[in-house]
Amino acid sequence: MTDILRSWIGGALPDWLIVLIAYLLVTLIVLFYAVGNFIMMVWAERRVIARMQDRLGPNRVGPAGLLQPIADAVKMFTKEDIVPRNADRWVHLLAPIVALAPVAMMLAVVPWGRGWEPIDLNVALLYIVAVSAVSGVGLMMAGWGSNNKFALLGAMRAVAQLVSYEIPAVTALLTVVVLAGGMSLLDLPYMQAGVPIMGATILCGDPAGCSPLLYSTVTSFPGSPNEPVQALDLGLGWWVFTPVGFLGFLVFFIAALAEGERTPFDIPEADSEIVAGYMTEYSGMKFATFYIAQYILNFALSALAATAFLGGWQGPGVAALANMGGPWVHVAAALSAFYLLAKIWILFFVMIWLRGAFPRLRVDQLMDFAWKLLLPLALVNIVSASLMVGLTQWTSAQWGGLVNLDGFAPWQRQLIAVLVTAIINIAAAYWILAINQRPREAEWDEEELVIAP
Amino acid sequence: MPSITEAVPLPWVLTLAGALFCVGLFGALSRRNTVGILLGIELMLNAVNINLVAFWRYLEPNVVAGQTFALFVITVAAAEAAVGLAMIIAIYRARQTVNADEVDSLRG
Amino acid sequence: MNTLITVLFLIFAAIILASAIMTVTVKNIVHAALWLISSFFGVGALYLLMEAEFLGVAQVLIYVGAVSILILFAIMLTRDLEGSQNRQLTPRWWIALIVPAALFSLLIVPTVMTHAWQLPPPPPAGQPPAISGAQQIGAAFMREYLLPFEVAAILLTVAMIGAIVVAFEERERRRRVLTLAEQVRLRQRQQQRQQPAPRPEPAATAVQPSEATGSET
């Protein structure tokens, strides 16, 4: 972007101004992209959930109710902005902004398509985790500033949930860091090239005879001494197809549901218990800001899950188009952006589906689920991930690797690694589930039991 | 390649860190509320960290010692905040106050 | 570009100092904590300006995401409504003002300004300076700083356990609310037990669920 602007108006403006304008333009594009998706998500959620509950949903404004979000927005804008008399005015005003700003900042590091990445930050995964933790401060401000007990209770619940589920989410993302050998998000889609399960390990035997439509150059692991290789590339070597990636994806997606306060985990705004949680005292634009923050958080977390485990923009045909060179590179970029968007929307559909299917958890169930099930699974998964990397990348005695697999071809190593990690992960999952499901009647002291009527 | 080492002289950064340290020291000495004292201490720790990072960046950018040390300071600060706040909550349970000058006997 | 960096530095410095001064002077302790968060953010931005990306992000993650939320929780658990507004500072707060002011103006500023700093020579033009980043830090933690790293891990574990032990509130009765499946199983068990020798009273006492959940959370 900076270079395009330089070629257009270079010389007319000082260089730092051009850089600033380029950054602002990129920011605007990303924000509009997210807000456009937000509008469609609100509509889609209402229609889909209505369909699941045998209703019609919004269907009057525009074709199939497509303009309903715009009507909602007009209503939100024109609503009276109410501040409770004993509220802390400034904290009450700033809370929605503090909740929205970090969520918007998360969008900056996601690669939206092949070559369409806003900024290249080499600590991008840590950055996303850090920034998403900040919105907890906004929720706390909303709860405290509203001077309302439901708001304070909701904020306490929300922050406790956010902090608890951040740990499994981060631990699940650590598997990706181990697999990728770095924290940059930009490399992740490139590394998930190849074919399902085997990844980019089916090499091209004869460099002259391999069609660039099927084979492409893949850098498998930046930290390892392995050279870039020509491998069979269908754009489907997503990590979710390996045992490590599958477990990581499962843990991360469930934790993301809790962080985004989606339905099985929507305890902070349980409307049958505490009105609307921390949003109780908000109306008009401030309420809309919280609403936007929540949906964009879901959007960003879906994008992160898609990039980290589902291959990001990677998909069949992207590498082939990019290998054809010339203007086809831009077609490849557009196709890749479409793939990422499709993955985000599939994940979002699953979120709506879960909302239609499951009731809300209790607070103690929520905490048990995070600490006794998700966290142990994620920890085992880190061990599996390091074994995976050890068995596929660091296998030669001359590099001081884990085991000596010198005579094996890459696909054989990959197969061994997949089998080993599958055994470990399945055994661990079975064991942890069994521990959690063991009836605890033996420990029951019957004097202390409480039977709900 | 523009960098902060050319744009901002080192004494400016150190002065900023010193000022932050002194503000934090004032807060830690003057507040009655124990949570307020803790806030002052956090400010002082941050000032120290700014100093460490500044020395790393200006004097030895290719050695990791400065950043590592700053990370250890952050770790210790987090542990200190956790234990300190737990103690404040325990004191509050026993005395129904969080003011440092009202908690003046050793018996709990 | 250098002007831009200077301006950014001055803005961040102003944010850090102003928020810090507000932190130590405002009456409301919740506002003080929020100003502290703003100061933390300024410090994080300053780290990013000094090209310590990992540290800047870690600052935001640990201070803003964890420590300040901990502080806010602690404030809300220890709020005394009537006594919080009357007097925030100690009686002889002016001594507390003199000491840091003297330290700053008599010791820190003269030392920092007059010392001749041995800055390394700037790298040759066109070549990026060698700056250690996240990867070097990770390698250092696994090699020369392995022992301090382990000690820090133990410190955090001990601090966590200590915090839980100190702040833990011993409850007189620990009750558990049963799930529906557990209730069914319990009733079945009671019935089985009652069949051979029927007792006059059921063993389990039924308590209202609302107070039970209250004690549980």
CA distance C70 to B86: 10
In this model, does residue C18 exceed pLDDT 90?
A: yes
> What digits encode the pLDDT tens for the residues C64-113?
888 888 888 888 877 655 455 556 677 777 887 888 888 878 887 878 77
Domain ranges of chain C: 1-78, 133-196
Q: Which pLDDT value is given to residue C42? A: 92
A136 interaction partners in chain C (CB closer than 8 Å): 65, 69
Put simply, whether C180 touches B (Cβ < 8 Å) is no
Strands (E), A198-313: 215-218, 229-232
Cβ pair B36:C16 closer than 8 A: no
Residue with tokens 């011993």: C170
Cβ pair A136:C60 closer than 8 A: no
Q: Please report the domains of chain B, with CATH numbers, ordered by start residue.
A: 8-97 (1.10.287.3510)
Environment class of A137 (CB within 10 Å of its CB; exposed 0-12, middle 13-18, buried 19+): buried
Cβ pair B35:C156 closer than 8 A: no
Q: Which pLDDT value is given to residue C13? A: 92
Q: Which of C27, C37, C89 to mutate to test the interface with B (most CBs of B within 10 A)?
A: C89
The residues, ordered by sequence, that sit 6+ positions from A98 with a Cβ below 8 Å of its Cβ are A134, A135, A137, A138, A141
Secondary structure of residue A13 in the 3-state scheme: strand
Segment C183-209 mean pLDDT: 63
> What digits encode the pLDDT tens for the residues C145-178?
899 999 999 999 999 898 888 877 766 555 566 6
Token output for A239: 């990590």
Q: Which pLDDT value is given to residue B47? A: 92
Put simply, whether B24 touches C (Cβ < 8 Å) is yes
Chain A: partners with 3+ C-beta pairs within 8 Å: C
Looking at residue C116, the DSSP 8-state letter turns out to be -
Q: Which pLDDT value is given to residue A367? A: 82
What's chain C's average pLDDT?
A: 77
CA distance C103 to C94: 14
Distances in whole angstroms, Cα of residue B97 to Cα of each of B33, B93, B102, C161: 9, 8, 7, 24
Q: How confident is the model at residue C209 (pLDDT cuts 50, 70, 90)?
A: very low
Environment class of C116 (CB within 10 Å of its CB; exposed 0-12, middle 13-18, buried 19+): exposed
Written as one letter, the residue type at A43 is W
A453 interaction partners in chain C (CB closer than 8 Å): 206, 209
> What digits encode the pLDDT tens for the residues B26-76?
888 888 788 888 899 999 999 999 999 888 888 887 788 888 888 899 999
CATH class of C1-78: mainly alpha
Q: Which pLDDT value is given to residue A387? A: 85
Q: Which pLDDT value is given to residue C212? A: 44
Q: Half-sphere exposure of residue A30, counting CA atoms within 13 Å on the CB side? A: 25
Distances in whole angstroms, Cα of residue C29 to Cα of each of A128, A245, B37, B88: 29, 45, 11, 14
What percentage of chain C carries pLDDT values higher than 70? 75
Token output for B11: 């004494």
Q: Which pLDDT value is given to residue C36? A: 92
CA distance C146 to C128: 29
Contact A214, A200 (CB under 8 A): no
User: A137 to chain C, minimum CA–CA distance in Å?
Assistant: 7
Q: Which pLDDT value is given to residue A56? A: 81
What percentage of chain A carries pLDDT values higher than 70? 85
Q: Which chain C residue lies closest to A15 (C-alpha atoms)?
A: C1
pTM reported for the whole predicted model: 0.83
CA distance A411 to A80: 64
CA distance A351 to A357: 10
Q: Which pLDDT value is given to residue A201? A: 72
CA distance A5 to A18: 7
Q: Which pLDDT value is given to residue C203? A: 47
How does strand A449-450 pair with strand A229-232? unpaired
Looking at residue A206, the DSSP 8-state letter turns out to be S
Cβ pair C57:A450 closer than 8 A: no
How does strand A449-450 pair with strand C176-177? parallel
Q: What is the mean pLDDT of each run of 10 residues along chain A (453 residues)?
A: 63 72 84 87 87 82 80 82 78 87 88 80 86 86 82 84 88 88 82 78 70 70 58 79 88 88 74 72 82 89 90 81 78 86 91 86 80 89 86 64 66 82 89 77 56 53
Q: Which pLDDT value is given to residue B45? A: 92
Put simply, whether A357 touches C (Cβ < 8 Å) is no
Q: Which pLDDT value is given to residue A400? A: 58
Secondary structure of residue C43 in the 3-state scheme: helix
Q: Which pLDDT value is given to residue A266? A: 76
Domain ranges of chain A: 1-78, 79-436
CA-atom Rg of chain B in angstroms: 18
